Structure 1
Amino acid sequence: MTTAAAAQEDMPDDVARALKRARTLEWVTLGYLLVDVALVLLVSGNSQAMQAAWVQDLLEMVPPLAFLVTVRMVAKRPTRKHPYGFHQSFDLAYLFAALALLGFGGLLLVQSALSLIQAEHPSVGTVAVLGETVWLGWFMIAVLAAGLVPPLVLGRMKMKLAPKLHNKMLYADAQMNKADWLSSAAAILGVGGIGMGWWWADSVAAIVISLDIIQDGVKNLRGALSSLTDAVPNDLKGKDRHPLLGEVEDHLVALPWVKEVGVRMREQGQVFHVEAFVVPDSIDDATVDRLIDARHACLDLDWKIHDVVIVPTEQLPEPLRPDPADSA
C-alpha cells in the first residue's frame, strides 16, 4: 500500500476523494508556478515590481510543496516514540510556510521602500523581434496578464475542498491563489508606469506586492500558532468555535448516566484529539462498558475525531467548569 493510500484508508470515501483531488490540484499548481516563474524571470529586466512578482511566485510554491510532503508524513502509523501519530506535521509545515512568507515579504518591503526613498529610476529596455524593436515592457505585461486567471481558478477549486478536509494549509493556499491577481495587477501597473515615465510606480507596485505577502504570512502564522498552542479549535476562517466540540459535549451530556461534561479538544493538523471529563450520577454508573460505548459513539460522530479519551471524575477540571455568570 502506498503512503497516499494509507493516508486515505481511515477516511470516508467522499473525503478520500477530496484529498486525492487536493493532491492533484497542488501538483497542477506547482506545474503552473514553475512555468510562470521561468517566464517572469525571463522578462523581469530591472523592474522591481517584476522581481517582487517573481519572488512571490517562488514563495507560492511553499504551501503546495509542504502539503504534498505532509500528506505522506501523516500517513505513517503511530509509534512508541510518536504515540499521537504525525498529524501535527501539518501545523509545523504551516508554521514554516508562514515564517517564509513573513521573512521574504519583509525583505522585499525594505528593498522597495529604500528604492523609493533613494528615487531610483528603473529602466526597461527593448528587444528585437522579427527585425522590429519592441519595448520589453509589453512582454512583461503579457506574461503578468496571462497569469491572472489560473490562480483564481485553482484557488476556487481548493477553497471547496479545504472545509471538507479541515485543512488549514490548503485553505491558506487557496486564499493566496485567489489573491494573487492583486499582485499581478500591481506589477502590471508598475511596468506601465515606467513606460509612462512614472519612475516611482515600479517601487510602489513592489511595496504593494510585499505587503500582500506579509499579510498572507501574518494570517498563516496566527493559524499555525493557534493549533500548536492547543487553543480551542476554530473553523477554517478562525472566527467561530469548531462545531464538533459542541457535538461531542451534547452527545455525552445526553447519556442517562452522565450528570456533567467538560470537553477539551486539541487540533492536530486536520484531525482532533478529544479528552472528555464526565461526572456520573454515581460512581457505580461509570462502568467500563459504558465508557467504551461512549468513546466509540464519539469516534463515530465525524472522521475528523481521531482519538477520544473519556475520564470519569468527581468534579470537572477548573477550566472546564461552567461559568456562574452563564447560569445567572
Structure 2
Amino acid sequence: MSGHTTLPEHERELLHKAVRLQWVSLFVMALVVTSVGLVAGQSQAMRTAFAEDALALLPPIVFLVGVWRTGKSRDPDHPYGHHRAIGAGHLVAAVTLLVLGASLVWNGASGLVKGEHPPIGVFSFAGVTVWAGWLMIVVMAIVMVPPMILGRLKMKLARPLHDKVLSADADMNKADWTTGAATIAGVTGIGFGLWWADSVAAILVSLSILWDGWKNIREAVRDLLDARASEIDSAEPHPLVDKLRDEADRTDWVDRATVRVRDMGHVFHSEVMVVPRRGVDPTVDQVEELRRRCQELDWKTDDTVVVVMHHLPKELVPPDQSSTSGTNT
C-alpha cells in the first residue's frame, strides 16, 4: 500500500527492495564514515569527505521514514493521503545538503586564502616509518566502491517507483565517490609539496555538494508548490499528462478536455476537466467509466477525478487549442 493506493505486484516488490537496500546503505555508510573519520587528520579534503559521508546517512533515513508515513491510510484530516511525506523528506535532505555545501566551500576557501599548510604526519608500521597520507589514500580508494555500487542500484529503483528521495540519494552516493577521487588527488598533492592542493580539492568537492543541494531544493520546492508533474531529473511534463488528456479526447461524448496533474510523491493527483459535446448530458455512469479508464492507465494515476464543465479554464488549455477553449460544438 501507498496511502490509499495499492501498488501493483512488480512495484510493490521494487519498493521492498528499495527499503532493504536503504538499510544496507545505512550500515555500509556508517562503516565508511567511521573509517574516514579515523584517518582524516588535519586534511581539509579528508574532513570535507568525512562531512559528506556523514550527510549521506540522511537520505536513507528520510526515505525509510517517508515510506512508513505514506503507508498510512487517508482520513478526514488528510484527504489526499500522506504521500507528501516523500516531498517533505526531499526538501529536508536538499536544505541540509545546500547548507553543508555552502559551509564547506567557506571553510575550504578560508584555508586557501590563509595559506594553511595541513600537517600530515607519519606512523610506524612493522618498524618502518610510513607517511600517513598513504593510509588516507588507501582508505579513500576502498570507501569509494560502496557508494558507486549503491548509487547505481538506487537509481535503477528510483525511476520505476518515481521516488525523488531515492533519486537524490543516488546523486548523493555519486557525490560520495567523486569526493573520494578528489580527496585522493588533494592528499597526493600534499605529498608532492603542493600545500594548496588539499584546499582546492576540498573546494571542488564542496561546490559539487552545493550544486546537488541547489538542484534538489529547487525540485523539492517545485513539487511542494504543485507544479506540473514531471519525470525524475527533468522539467518536461510527465508522459502521463498527455495520456490522460488523450484518454478523455477519445471519449465519444467529450468535445474538449484538459488535465492538471500534481506530484504527490510516489503517485499523482490528477484532475481531468472535460466539456461535453453540444446537446449531450453525460450520465454519472459515463463520467465514472471515463474516470476508471484514466485510473487504469498507470498505477500512479489511481487518484484521478473527472470534472464536467461548460468551459475549460483558459490558463490550463494547451497553446494549440487556446483559440477554441471557450466553445462547445
- Give the ranges of 4+ consecutive aligned residues of structure 1 lying more than 3 Å apart after TM superposition: 5-9, 324-328
The match for 1:229 is: 225
The question of 1:120 aligning with 2:108 is answered no
**Structure 1 residues 105 and 283, CA, compared in 2 at 3 Å: closer, same or farther?**
farther
The match for 1:70 is: 66
Task: Measure the CA separation in 2 of the matches of 1:114 and 1:282.
Answer: 71
Tell whether the 8 Å contact from 1:7 to 1:71 is kept in structure 2 after alignment.
no
The match for 1:199 is: 195
Partner amino acid, structure 2, of 1:174 = A
TM-score by length of 2: 0.94
Shift of 1:9: 7.5
Q: 2:9 aligns with which of 8, 13, 21?
A: 13
Shift of 1:239: 3.6
The question of 1:130 aligning with 2:103 is answered no
- Local SS of the residue matching 1:308: strand
**Structure 1 residues 126 and 8, CA, compared in 2 at 3 Å: closer, same or farther?**
farther
The match for 2:57 is: 61
The question of 1:290 aligning with 2:289 is answered no
Task: Measure the CA separation in 2 of the matches of 1:235 and 1:228.
Answer: 15
The question of 1:24 aligning with 2:20 is answered yes
Partner amino acid, structure 2, of 1:82 = H
Task: Measure the CA separation in 1 of the matches of 2:174 and 2:113.
Answer: 31
Task: Measure the CA separation in 1 of the matches of 2:247 and 2:317.
Answer: 18
Shift of 1:300: 1.0
Q: 1:306 aligns with which of 297, 302, 306?
A: 302
**Which structure 2 segments of 5+ residues have no match?**
325-329
Shift of 1:269: 0.8
The match for 1:281 is: 277
**Which structure 1 segments of 5+ residues have no match?**
none
The match for 1:161 is: 157
Tell whether the 8 Å contact from 2:112 to 2:196 is kept in structure 1 after alignment.
yes
**Structure 1 residues 284 and 9, CA, compared in 2 at 3 Å: closer, same or farther?**
closer
Q: 1:145 aligns with which of 141, 144, 161?
A: 141
Partner amino acid, structure 1, of 2:246 = D
Shift of 1:282: 3.8
Shift of 1:178: 2.7
> What does the per-residue CA deviation read over 1:43-88, in whole Å, with 9 as the maximum and x for residues that have no partner?
1110000000000001111111110110000000011111111101
Q: 1:173 aligns with which of 169, 175, 178?
A: 169
The question of 1:258 aligning with 2:254 is answered yes
Shift of 1:30: 1.0
- Local SS of the residue matching 2:196: helix
The match for 1:319 is: 315
The match for 1:241 is: 237
Q: Percent identity?
A: 44
Tell whether the 8 Å contact from 1:291 to 1:310 is kept in structure 2 after alignment.
yes
- Local SS of the residue matching 2:232: coil
Task: Measure the CA separation in 1 of the matches of 2:233 and 2:5.
Answer: 27
Partner amino acid, structure 2, of 1:264 = R
Q: CA RMSD in A?
A: 1.8
- Local SS of the residue matching 2:298: coil
Shift of 1:90: 0.5
- Local SS of the residue matching 2:299: coil
Task: Measure the CA separation in 2 of the matches of 1:293 and 1:46.
Answer: 67
- Local SS of the residue matching 2:302: strand
Shift of 1:6: 6.7
- Local SS of the residue matching 1:298: helix
Task: Measure the CA separation in 1 of the matches of 2:3 and 2:148.
Answer: 28
Please give the residue correspondences for 1:30-69 in structure 2 after superposition, counting only pairs within 5 Å: 30-69=26-65
Tell whether the 8 Å contact from 1:187 to 1:202 is kept in structure 2 after alignment.
yes
Task: Measure the CA separation in 2 of the matches of 1:152 and 1:122.
Answer: 28
Partner amino acid, structure 1, of 2:15 = L
Task: Measure the CA separation in 1 of the matches of 2:4 and 2:38.
Answer: 40
Number of residue pairs matched by the alignment: 324
**Structure 1 residues 325 and 74, CA, compared in 2 at 3 Å: closer, same or farther?**
closer
Task: Measure the CA separation in 1 of the matches of 2:66 and 2:191.
Answer: 44
> What does the per-residue CA deviation read over 1:279-321, in whole Å, with 9 as the maximum and x for residues that have no partner?
0014643211111111111111111113111111100012123
Tell whether the 8 Å contact from 2:259 to 2:316 is kept in structure 1 after alignment.
yes
Task: Measure the CA separation in 2 of the matches of 1:41 and 1:175.
Answer: 22
Task: Measure the CA separation in 2 of the matches of 1:288 and 1:227.
Answer: 32
TM-score by length of 1: 0.94
